[in-house]
Amino acid sequence: MLVKDNRGNDPVNPVAIQDKDLGNTGSFRTEIFELCTVCGARFRIGYFGESKDELRIAEELEELPRRLIEILAKDHRREREHKGLIELDI
């Protein structure tokens, strides 16, 4: 899913950011919260930039947490730490 940012026609991809790393980012708008089912790390799923009045398709918003959970589970299977910023481009 792509949305436009305030700079014009540049696409902006959805990302997940760990709460502990949120202070290191610029303007970020949160769409959904999600927890890692294994370790409980909390992530915010959303987009960089100012808030837009665009409506999100419900199916697309449901897909983002599923994608994040798959990535987090893979991290645990491979015994690696979660990244602070995870791109969720679908």
Q: Which residue has the higher pLDDT, 57 or 39?
A: 39
Report the domain count for the chain: 1
The pLDDT-based confidence of 10 (bands split at 50, 70, 90) is very low
Give the list of residues 6+ apart from residue 75 with CB closer than 8 angstroms, or none: 81, 82
The pLDDT-based confidence of 50 (bands split at 50, 70, 90) is low
The pLDDT-based confidence of 22 (bands split at 50, 70, 90) is confident
Q: In angstroms, rounded to a whole number, what is the distance separating the alpha carbons of residues 35 and 31?
A: 14
Measured on CA atoms in the order 76, 20, 32, 40, is the torsion positive or negative?
positive
Q: Provide the domain limits for residue 66.
A: 3-87
Burial of 50 (0-12, 13-18, 19+ CB in 10 A): exposed
Q: In angstroms, rounded to a whole number, what is the distance separating the alpha carbons of residues 7 and 44?
A: 23
